[in-house]
Amino acid sequence: MTDHILEVDLLAFERGGPGTRRTVVDGVLRSLACGFVYTSHDIPAEVLDTAYGGLATFFRLAPEVKQRFVVAGSNGQSGYTGLLVETAAASDRPDWKEMLNWSEPLPAGHPVRRRFPTWYPDRVLPEEVVPGITDVLGRFHRALADLQLRFLRIVAVGLGCHERYFDDLLIHGTNLSRAIRYPPMAEAPGGAPHVWAAAHADIDLITALPRATAAGLQVLTVDGWVDAVPPPGSAIINTGIMLERLTNGAIPAGRHQVVAAPGQPGERYSVVQFCQPAPFALLAPLPTCVDGDRPVRYAPMAAGDLLERVLWEINLVEEGRRIPEPS
């Protein structure tokens, strides 16, 4: 595990010669030993600015208005999720955050959607109270999905796979965008615990975070928790549980938390996207990641089954919440 997060150049990988590409691949693999890396990107600032503006408008609405956009039965995969619901798998204390979730569902009659309706819910966004937000967040979602697909080509090369290995795996993928508002700690029930989101790893292959409005994200390294502070104009990429299983542990899931510094005022916004394969995709260790020194660690598991298991662990399965919602 590296003791710091490296910066790499996605655009150099795409445009450079063999030597440049090898340098980028090496940097990505070395940095992902801690599950995190910073990368250049070409998402227009206007896309990010407009998305954050619309989301800030939504989160400022009264609680009873936001509750109108809760999607029953979506298990946190669409619409609004209120405060003190999602809970880190290793914690019994709900996170101090609220969320808006969206994706681009398949057409209603698509056979994959009929087979897996839980993972392709209707997209519910607050268009009626924030006019234009559906188009804005749709642009954001597509831009992040493109960035993640391109970045995974670097990972594929580093794993000894064809550059387009993940292109195939992500057909009908269940990519999920999530806007998160972390309220001021002064408003937290029971005082200010200085923890917005407890230590955890994401479910997915990789997560992309192009911008946050305040500090707070911390990454676990061999030297303990370190602040994640990307260079201006760079995005944070972190690895998830699905990629750890595919790589037989060669690339670990990046453990992280979101913590307010003592006395830190104000709220924090971030918008992330989880990159996930289709629910029927089989997550089995890649042959290039198995040898005498690294025997098979993980049994094959369908992506949808793993997602369902982790959603219960993090308290998002509505029919059987691990920890009851606040009354």
Tens digit of each residue's pLDDT (9 = 90 or more) over 194-210: 889 999 999 999 999 99
Q: Which of 326 and 137 is assigned the larger pLDDT?
A: 137
Q: Mean pLDDT throughout 229-235?
A: 93
Compute the distance between CA of residue 304 and CA of residue 301 in angstroms, rounded to an integer.
8
Task: Give the pLDDT band (50/70/90) at residue 1.
Answer: very low
The chain-wide mean pLDDT, for the chain, equals 93
Residue 282 pairs in a beta bridge with 302
Compute the distance between CA of residue 238 and CA of residue 235 in angstroms, rounded to an integer.
10
Gap between the terminal Cα atoms of the chain: 42
Q: Is residue 2 part of a domain?
A: no
3-class DSSP assignment, residue 288: helix
For residue 202, what are the domain limits?
7-320
Residue 319 pLDDT exceeds 80: no
Q: What pLDDT is stored for residue 316 in this prediction?
A: 86
Smallest CA-to-CA distance from 213 within 262, 147, 263, 258 is with: 258
Residue 87 belongs to domain with CATH number:
2.60.120.330
Residue 75 pLDDT exceeds 60: yes
Q: Is residue 325 part of a domain?
A: no
Q: What pLDDT is stored for residue 265 in this prediction?
A: 87
Q: Is residue 250 part of a domain?
A: yes
Q: Is residue 118 part of a domain?
A: yes
- Burial-class residue 320 by CB neighbours within 10 Å (0-12, 13-18, 19+): exposed
Q: What pLDDT is stored for residue 327 in this prediction?
A: 58
Angstrom distances, CA of residue 307 to CA of 2, 43, 128, 254, 281: 28, 28, 31, 17, 11
Q: Mean pLDDT throughout 276-293?
A: 95
Q: Which of 190 and 69 is assigned the larger pLDDT?
A: 69
Residue 272 pairs in a beta bridge with 178
Backbone angles phi, psi at 203, to 5 degrees: -75, -30
Q: Is residue 206 part of a domain?
A: yes
Q: Is residue 294 part of a domain?
A: yes
Residue 192 pLDDT exceeds 80: no
Compute the distance between CA of residue 121 and CA of residue 117 in angstroms, rounded to an integer.
6
Model confidence pLDDT, tens digit, residues 150-173: 999 999 999 999 999 999 999 999
Task: Give the pLDDT band (50/70/90) at residue 83.
Answer: very high
- Token representation of residue 75: 């298990």
Model confidence pLDDT, tens digit, residues 296-308: 999 999 999 999 9
Q: Mean pLDDT throughout 51-70?
A: 97
Residue 31 pLDDT exceeds 60: yes
> In the chain, how many domains are there?
1
Compute the distance between CA of residue 276 and CA of residue 311 in angstroms, rounded to an integer.
14
| Residue pair 28/40 in contact by the 8 Å Cβ criterion | no
Task: Give the pLDDT band (50/70/90) at residue 326.
Answer: low
Smallest CA-to-CA distance from 271 within 58, 10, 11, 9 is with: 58
Q: What pLDDT is stored for residue 3 in this prediction?
A: 54
Q: Mean pLDDT throughout 62-82?
A: 95
Q: Is residue 114 part of a domain?
A: yes
What is the value of pTM for the model shown?
A: 0.94
Q: What pLDDT is stored for residue 273 in this prediction?
A: 97
Least confident stretch, 47-56, 89-98, 164-173: 89-98
Q: Is residue 1 part of a domain?
A: no
Q: Mean pLDDT throughout 35-64?
A: 96
- Token representation of residue 310: 């982790």
Distance of CA 223 to the CA centre of its chain: 24
Residue 283 pLDDT exceeds 80: yes
Number of residues written out for the chain: 327
Within 8 A by CB and 6+ apart from 76, the residues are 85, 86, 99, 101, 311, 316
Dihedral of CA atoms 96, 7, 251, 91 in degrees, nearest 10, equals -10
Q: What pLDDT is stored for residue 178 in this prediction?
A: 97
